[in-house]
């Protein structure tokens, strides 16, 4: 069967394109089709490492999970990881090719990347029956239209129909739809085959006059009004939801443990902590600029960062560095992941200016380690065993975790410092070497491994340690949530919401497909 394409574009960023693509992937997968997601160019600090060691955007990984297939860099051939206000690290087919200022990338490199994008699409054609393509931002950004490689140019490349999505929860959805279509070239406007209104709250009957207006004004059918869905844990692409910044402390006597994740300016892979947030006896929140909490935090987590040295400077400027050190010395546990692990050390060196213009900076001094940044990036999947001492790791000896590493730093442990884990499998090969480090008092540890909290038993062990330290003891009966099972359930729930909201018969007609094949 010839591969069918359908593309989801938006009137703006953050209108819900990524989640709708995941929903469509799930629907086609459950309807019996071999389906894959695709986004030619993604800008995000949330990334993932494939089995082959290629780095790609986290959104396409989530979409691949929804489609029931293994992620591949062909699903996201170009990833931009911002390194500053107007520059990014450019990753092509999973491998970094260097940092580029925005003007150089858009003017010089992007037009040359079309062959790479087309090659990735050709490889997907060979393996899948349906490809659901995600656009970026808005196709009506007139300053970028001549050189864009992620919206209408890709739709034209594969002759794909386009669904235009607007977020009504933000307001101005009708104007954004009409304005977007007005700014498109006639041929591109014709390619838009339907409108989807996303994140609707309220009485759908009261919205029908707006639907009639849009269809009459634009000549395009409104193929669905998707409700504002809640309690679905579909991982975010690159934005931490505002609700996670809540500042209220837990009430006295609460049987929840409070975990504070430091919101770094260049935070990466914050989805590492979603499984913790899913646990009902955990209150996880992100500590933002100017919002230093009190003394009742049960665990502090320093997450990954794309600009570790600059983010460490930010912690000092905001007073957060002093707070973290003071809490750690008072006995509050601290865990660092990747860049956060590096910040916990004595010093960070960047002799090649790989991440920053700063050549050296003192770390927080909570771990006796030294990190040096090097030009070569490590991207690999790993399996590891907990081996370190301390309040979390001594009781987890032998627990296996699986995850991935993405970092440019190499960390050396001082004599006598214990690693946190032993890596046993790297990129599918049996190995044995140490990872991470544990402080002398056992209250602080760091690791390069992203995804350790996806491991249900290890995550529950960490939470139970915190409960006992807080004096609330272990739950009488408790069955830890399975991260993977919950994701699969949420994909199915999302697909059901979207299927019931979209005219799927019309979508199948756009694809020239007969509809569901059955289970």
Q: Do 363 and 340 touch, CB atoms closer than 8 A?
A: no
Take residue 404 and report the two structure tokens written for it: 């991935």
Angle at the Cα of 82 from the Cα atoms of 79 and 85, rounded to 5 degrees: 145
327: three-class secondary structure by DSSP:
helix
Walk across the sheet containing 4-10 and list its strands.
35-38, 130-134, 4-10, 162-167, 192-200, 222-227
Residue with tokens 């359930």: 489
Take residue 438 and report the two structure tokens written for it: 């544990």
Q: Do 360 and 349 touch, CB atoms closer than 8 A?
A: yes
Take residue 259 and report the two structure tokens written for it: 């975990």
For this structure, is 338 an active site residue? yes
Task: Give the max Cα distance, the chain.
Answer: 74
Residue 287 to residue 305: CA distance in whole angstroms? 15
Q: Label residue 53 left, alpha or beta by phi (over 0 means left) and psi (-120 to 50 means alpha).
A: left
428: three-class secondary structure by DSSP:
coil
Residue 277 to residue 380: CA distance in whole angstroms? 26
Take residue 87 and report the two structure tokens written for it: 């520059």
In degrees rounded to 5, what are phi and psi of residue 166? -125, 145
Q: Please pick, among 266, 338, 407, 443, the residue that the annotation labels catalytic.
A: 338
For this structure, is 291 an active site residue? no
Q: Please pick, among 266, 407, 443, 450, the residue that the annotation labels catalytic.
A: 450
DSSP class of 367? S
Q: How many CB atoms lie within 10 A of CB 469?
A: 16
Q: Which residues contact 5 (CB under 8 A, 6 or more apart)?
A: 130, 131, 132, 133, 158, 159, 160, 161, 511
3-state helix, strand, coil in the chain (%, to 5): 35, 30, 35
Q: Which residues are catalytic?
A: 338, 450
């Amino acid at each position: 069967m010839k591969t069918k394409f359908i593309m989801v574009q938006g009137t703006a960023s953050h209108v819900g394109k990524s989640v709708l693509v995941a929903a469509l992937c799930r629907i086609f997968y459950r309807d019996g089709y071999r389906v894959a997601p695709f986004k030619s160019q993604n800008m995000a600090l949330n990334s993932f490492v494939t089995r082959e060691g290629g780095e790609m955007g986290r959104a396409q990984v989530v979409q691949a999970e929804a489609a029931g297939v293994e992620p591949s860099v062909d699903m996201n051939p170009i990833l931009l990881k911002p390194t500053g206000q107007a520059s990014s690290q450019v990753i092509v087919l999973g491998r970094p090719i260097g940092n580029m200022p925005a003007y150089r990338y858009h003017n010089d490199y992007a037009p040359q990347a079309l062959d790479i994008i087309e090659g990735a699409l050709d490889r997907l054609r060979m393996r899948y029956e349906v490809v659901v393509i995600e656009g970026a931002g808005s196709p009506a950004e007139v300053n970028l239209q001549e050189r864009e490689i992620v919206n209408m140019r890709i739709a034209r490349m594969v002759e794909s129909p386009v669904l235009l999505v607007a977020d009504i929860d933000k307001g101005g959805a009708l104007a954004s739809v009409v304005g977007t279509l007005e700014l498109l070239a006639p041929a591109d406007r014709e390619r838009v085959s339907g409108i989807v209104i996303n994140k609707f709250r309220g009485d759908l009957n009261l919205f029908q006059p707006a639907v009639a207006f849009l269809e009459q004004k634009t000549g395009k059918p409104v193929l669905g009004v998707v409700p504002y869905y809640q309690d679905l844990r579909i991982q975010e692409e690159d934005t931490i939801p505002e609700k996670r910044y809540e500042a209220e402390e837990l009430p006295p006597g609460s049987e929840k443990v409070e975990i504070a994740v430091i919101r770094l300016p260049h935070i990466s892979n914050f989805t590492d902590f979603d499984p913790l947030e899913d646990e009902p006896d955990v209150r996880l929140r992100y500590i933002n600029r100017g919002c230093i909490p009190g003394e009742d935090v049960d665990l502090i987590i320093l997450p990954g960062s794309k600009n570790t040295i600059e983010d460490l400077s930010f912690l000092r400027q905001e007073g957060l560095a002093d707070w973290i050190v003071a809490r750690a010395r008072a006995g509050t546990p601290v865990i660092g992941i990747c860049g956060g692990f590096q910040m916990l050390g004595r010093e960070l060196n960047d002799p090649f200016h790989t991440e920053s213009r700063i050549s050296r900076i003192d770390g927080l001094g909570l771990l006796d380690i030294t990190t040096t940044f090097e030009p070569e990036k490590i991207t690999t999947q790993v399996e590891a065993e907990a081996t370190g001492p301390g309040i979390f790791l001594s009781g987890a000896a032998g627990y296996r975790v699986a995850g991935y590493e993405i970092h440019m730093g190499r960390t050396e442990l001082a004599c006598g410092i214990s690693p946190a884990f032993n890596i046993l499998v790297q990129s599918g090969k049996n190995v044995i070497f140490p990872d991470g480090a544990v402080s002398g008092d056992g209250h602080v540890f760091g690791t390069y491994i992203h995804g350790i909290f996806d491991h249900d038993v290890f995550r529950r062990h960490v939470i139970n340690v915190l409960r006992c330290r807080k004096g609330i003891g272990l739950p009488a009966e408790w069955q830890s949530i399975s991260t993977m099972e919950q994701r699969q359930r949420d994909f199915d729930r999302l697909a059901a919401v979207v299927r019931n909201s979209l005219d799927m018969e019309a979508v199948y007609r756009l694809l020239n497909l007969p509809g569901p094949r059955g289970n």
